[in-house]
Homo-oligomer: A and B are copies of this chain.
Amino acid sequence: MNIRHLTFRLLQVYVTVVRCGSVSAAARQLHLTQPTVSQQLKRLSEAVGSPLFEQHAQGLTMTATGQALYQASRDVLGRFDDFADQLSDLQYGRKGRFSIVLVNTAQYVLPRLLGPFSQAFPDVDVTVHIGNRRQVLARFDRHEDDLYVFSHPPALAHAVAARFMRNPLVAIAAADHPLAQQSSISLEQLLSERLLLREPGSATRMLLDSWLQEQGVSMQKTLQMASNEAIRVGVAARMGVAVLSEHVLPKEHPELAVLPVAGLPIESHWQFIVRSDQRLPQSAQRFLHYVHEHLGHWIEPHFVCNELDGLLATYPTFPLRS
């Protein structure tokens, strides 16, 4: 027996004949002519190398070989029914996997979207990577992920971006800091304090640097720290002041005060970025649709900046309905 001479169609016809108990009835059910079915059975018998039926007074009776083939056929056809079900889930983005990479600060906000999405689509396997700006850009170059989350990204080849959230940078100091008691603070006042900063490659640092450059001023006393969390704790401990994403601050932050510095907050936005030269899995498309529809549920209104329409329009065939 050479499996290459078997076709799924032959198996379908065979199973139908067995179930109907006659060639003619099977032909009717399959909307074929009786000779077609007769010939298909003959071909199948030749492919297997043994008779499949015996002539008996009671009609068609399967041989032992026929019995084994019936079982195998049902198993195989059933297995592909299962696969087709899986396929449906995959195509509707209800199942599958995708990879998303966030710059450090975005880790404070994305779980608020990824969490509910994962609950709504438990069969979607999301891999989350976190890195600084340079690391994220390197991954983009290497096509390593399906979605990238940046604020203020550079102009990247093959990148399609869409904003979904405001990411304002604010100045903070300890709650009992002298500047915290003022109702209005000049930029020079802020810069006379020691600034706690991220490393030069970070998005926050980059944004601050370019903003200060626009204002024609420069920083005087700085202290570089390894993470936003360390900076926040350092400010609370009066090591200095800082300019950080508002998202880094807990909802209640009694030990900290946002300083009303002239010109702040610095406006920036979280953006989803995909590669136009790379396939975006259905599950990732499902996630983007979910974000688009649920931003208002999970994010405070003043942060919402839903510009995902354009990005989603680049995937016109995505099946919104199952």
Q: Is the CB of A142 within 8 A of B64?
A: no
Give the Cβ gap from A71 to chain B, nearest Cβ, in Å.
Answer: 8
Of all chain B residues, the one with the shortest Cβ separation from A68 is B86
Given A68-B83, A72-B83, A76-B79, 19 more pairs with CB closer than 8 A: A3-B8, A4-B8, A6-B80, A7-B8, A49-B91, A50-B87, A55-B143, A56-B143, A57-B142, A63-B279, A63-B281, A64-B90, A64-B95, A64-B97, A65-B90, A65-B91, A68-B86, A75-B79, A76-B76
Separation of A65 and B87 alpha carbons in the complex (Å): 7
Q: List the interface of chain A (C-beta within 8 A of B).
A: 1, 3-4, 6-9, 12, 48-51, 54-57, 63-65, 68-69, 72, 75-77, 79-80, 82-84, 86-87, 90-91, 95-97, 142-143, 278-279, 281, 283
Most chain B CB within 10 A, of A50, A57, A83, is at A83
B57 close to A90 (CB less than 8 A): no
Chain B residue with the shortest CB-CB distance to A97? B64
Q: Which residues of B contact A90 (CB under 8 A)?
A: 50, 64-65, 68
State how many copies of this chain the complex holds.
Answer: 2
Q: Which residues of B contact A87 (CB under 8 A)?
A: 1, 48-50, 65, 68
Give the residue of B9, B50, B278 whose beta carbon is less than 8 angstroms from that of A4.
B9
A48 neighbours in B (Cβ, 8 Å)? 87
